[in-house]
Amino acid sequence: MKLKKQVTVCGAAIFCVAVFSLYLMLDRVQHDPTRHQNGGNFPRSQISVLQNRIEQLEQLLEENHEIISHIKDSVLELTANAEGPPAMLPYYTVNGSWVVPPEPRPSFFSISPQDCQFALGGRGQKPELQMLTVSEELPFDNVDGGVWRQGFDISYDPHDWDAEDLQVFVVPHSHNDPGWIKTFDKYYTEQTQHILNSMVSKLQEDPRRRFLWAEVSFFAKWWDNINVQKRAAVRRLVGNGQLEIATGGWVMPDEANSHYFALIDQLIEGHQWLERNLGATPRSGWAVDPFGYSSTMPYLLRRANLTSMLIQRVHYAIKKHFAATHSLEFMWRQTWDSDSSTDIFCHMMPFYSYDVPHTCGPDPKICCQFDFKRLPGGRINCPWKVPPRAITEANVAERAALLLDQYRKKSQLFRSNVLLVPLGDDFRYDKPQEWDAQFFNYQRLFDFFNSRPNLHVQAQFGTLSDYFDALYKRTGVEPGARPPGFPVLSGDFFSYADREDHYWTGYYTSRPFYKSLDRVLEAHLRGAEVLYSLAAAHARRSGLAGRYPLSDFTLLTEARRTLGLFQHHDAITGTAKEAVVVDYGVRLLRSLVNLKQVIIHAAHYLVLGDKETYHFDPEAPFLQVDDTRLSHDALPERTVIQLDSSPRFVVLFNPLEQERFSMVSLLVNSPRVRVLSEEGQPLAVQISAHWSSATEAVPDVYQVSVPVRLPALGLGVLQLQLGLDGHRTLPSSVRIYLHGRQLSVSRHEAFPLRVIDSGTSDFALSNRYMQVWFSGLTGLLKSIRRVDEEHEQQVDMQVLVYGTRTSKDKSGAYLFLPDGEAKPYVPKEPPVLRVTEGPFFSEVVAYYEHIHQAVRLYNLPGVEGLSLDISSLVDIRDYVNKELALHIHTDIDSQGAAPTVSEEAPPPGQLLPHASHGLYPGRTEAPHAAHCPGPGCL
């Protein structure tokens, strides 16, 4: 009421000042003694006097406007700092539940269907191949196909090429994993640097030779260690087309676990490196080893101006079907694309692998005889017991006929008479002898083919783009355009199986701790890049660049490359050896620590009102981060803010490009805490205990949760004070269900706590949008009902256990091979349930022996109030040969569509959601929080 009176009085003052000022101006004009009353006709000598009067009047109006503006500002300041109730002050209803009043401004906006391309479907040409439909129609019967075990016998008429020669491009390549059996550095030292060094010398020996490379991460490391002359030679090889860098990403990324942000980031990092150092722009994509393929990657490659791409690891039944229908080459289109703007031409390799025995044709026993690294006396041989033979004048006709038969059979699977034959494998060409063996013997075969027109074949070494260019030329279209008669496909190629029932789905959850750490690093990289850009730009513009640590850009570059490296298909997948995983983890943690320093430096600079006072001191940071990790394999430890007589300040940063209203949770050492906004307005907060186990609260540590609104790409400041505000410091209440277990329970006078020894009745949590029911026995979800709907949606959650087979093929980092149907998880003891209810959030945590399951419901307006936050912490180190799975059974009718999982950001200030061991974590692009360690440091 007091505030309303003040606003009314000030408003009246504004009106009075405005009226009185106008009256004075009119009065001065009317009583001007020089003013003539002659019917409005002024003598010429008086025009200048009138102009002066008009200018004076304009000046008076301007002064009056400034006066009114000052008064308005005063009123707004008075309103902002008034000791009135904040907009988000919760209250209890009659039935004892918390209610948060609606905000005066919307928290989210509706989207018109016309604004979304996904709603436009059906207007353009529909693809001939839709992968959901293809998968539903295939029998997946795994019939033995003979020499091409997963295919079929191929026949041809020798006269098929009389009208048009078969054009063969043999593409030498070496697939270098940036970490797998060995670490990145060990691979480079022992193999990769030798491959690249030999490449330069061997390609220069004959201009007909070609080579394909894909991993820029290795190439950049090698580039930094070679001399100027060798760099010039590499540029010449790239310039004349002998060396092609395909895809151009920092790595060949996994396409199932990686987030699109990281996929784009590693692609940009690689492309920029190539442009800066080689002046090269990739044209074709090469992905022979990812374990299945997402439809996101072709979209990104097309947007990066690539026109063609190649893939290899596709389910063998799909390969067989596509080979039989001549659909191994197609235009890959997004499912929502109505005008073919996302199309990219894609080549699918037809056989089992990308090694030499499975690339020349359908018979690996024959193709292996043309892998001249396996010549007798070498370290590897052919498993089919027929070794290669060096090509001589005496045997070239016989050997050429044998190889040409494979080429012709393979070409029968495609729609053009241009044939691609990769020639390589993992870490190939690491010794000069292999270069010589492959190039000399194949060149003798090519010379024989090309000198005999009756064979109707032209063969040569080529790059991937050489092949695509020849195909486009043969079919009469521009590069990247759809050749006549070639199909259009939409969808993806998951899940992958290379034989029998060996589905490569184990890697979806292998080493999930590092999958989660990947998302944490990604979120910090995004935040650090935005903050650094803002701070560095301001410092340069203000002439303070000498004070600001612009050297932090190096830390950003290192972190981008670390994140890119971890997108490798043996890194984020969790399929590398243990020592390699440790190496990845150390790199991730080092970059995470560096990014936190970048964030601290930038936030320090940007939050200061007087930038002249900025002083960079790495030994005495102005801010501290919200959490720390003691090692690469440790969970984060939250910083506890020590409250005393001096206020503490917390700086929050929103890295998203839209405003967000979200919950910030911080740890403090006292339940007596007041939180003020940046303008000094008291905020309502929820105080909760901080638990170390199901029943034990951490002494002298409390969680304070406060809803905050942060501007897009903006900073916010909260002030924490020691003290109690009974209207706004609102404690949580806790119920603990022991289910008959004899456990001691921590109690605290600040929090209402009720211990229930036994109870199996279901219970519910609710907010303004939904009511969520839980099992009183298990603590897991049972159903959800929207308050505006009568129907209750079943969402029955169970923990299941898969065993593993006793045969030699077992589940592991790559494969998921259970021993049968999943069985319910039966713990040795019933779970302890802890139910927390408060004004801004409520949660249920179920503590089992091997898994802690938490479901949180936010009592907030907007997006967070419309969703459930589900997190799991799993420890199955003593659960040998078992796999835990979280199963959710619903009565939602998806009408055959695949379910979607939303990757929402966690609450601000929480840089890591509960480390998810066994569940795939979403992207953690949360606002970053840091607190001021000393009194009055802002």
DSSP 614-642: ----TTS-SSEESEE-SSTTS--EEPEE-
Q: What torsion do the CA atoms of 702, 707, 709, 714 make, to the nearest 10 degrees?
A: 20
Chain centroid to Cα 736, Å, comes to: 37
Which residue has tokens 């409390």? 702
Q: How far is CA 39 from CA 28, 30, 43, 602, 805, in A?
A: 20, 15, 11, 68, 109
CB atoms within 10 A of CB 152: 14
> Hey, what long-range contacts does 15-20 have (CB within 8 A, 24 or more apart)?
17/64, 17/67, 17/68, 17/71, 18/64, 18/68
Which residue has tokens 């260690």? 225
Nearest one of 678, 675, 679 to 723, comparing CA atoms: 675
Any alpha helices (H) in 85-227, and if so which ranges? 131-137, 184-187, 193-204, 216-223
DSSP 678-747: TTS-EE-EEEEEEESSSS-EEEEEEEEEEEEEE-TT-EEEEEEEES--TTTEEE-EEEEE-TT-------
Six token digits for residue 727:
């209207």
Chain centroid to Cα 285, Å, comes to: 20
DSSP 306-375: --EEEE----HHHHHHHHHTT-SEEEE--TT-SSSTT-EEEEE--SS-SSGGGTSSS-HHHHGGG-GGGS
Nearest one of 664, 676, 677 to 703, comparing CA atoms: 664
Q: How far apart are CA 20 and CA 158, in angstroms?
A: 104
Six token digits for residue 446:
């090519």
Q: How far apart are CA 491 and CA 318, in angstroms?
A: 13
| Active-site hit among 177, 254, 265, 289 | 289
Six token digits for residue 314:
């596709």
Q: How far apart are CA 118 and CA 335, in angstroms?
A: 8
Q: What angle do CA 497, 499, 500 make, to 5 degrees?
A: 100
Residue 558's Cβ-count burial label (10 Å; 0-12, 13-18, 19+) is: middle
DSSP 238-261: HHTTSEEE-S--SS-B-SSSS-HH
Q: How far apart are CA 782 and CA 258, in angstroms?
A: 31
In the residue annotation, 289 being an active-site residue is answered as: yes
Q: How far apart are CA 96 and CA 146, in angstroms?
A: 73
Nearest one of 641, 769, 772, 663 to 88, comparing CA atoms: 663
The CA radius of gyration of the chain, in Å to the nearest whole number, is 35
Q: Is the peptide bond before 217 cis (omega within 30 degrees of 0)?
A: no
Q: How far apart are CA 47 and CA 345, in angstroms?
A: 77
Residue type at position 667 = L
CB atoms within 10 A of CB 251: 31
Q: How far apart are CA 557 and CA 566, in angstroms?
A: 14
Q: How far apart are CA 856 and CA 839, in angstroms?
A: 13
Interhelix angle 193-204/216-223, nearest 10 degrees: 80
Alpha carbons within 13 A on the beta-carbon side of 718 = 30
Active site residues: 289
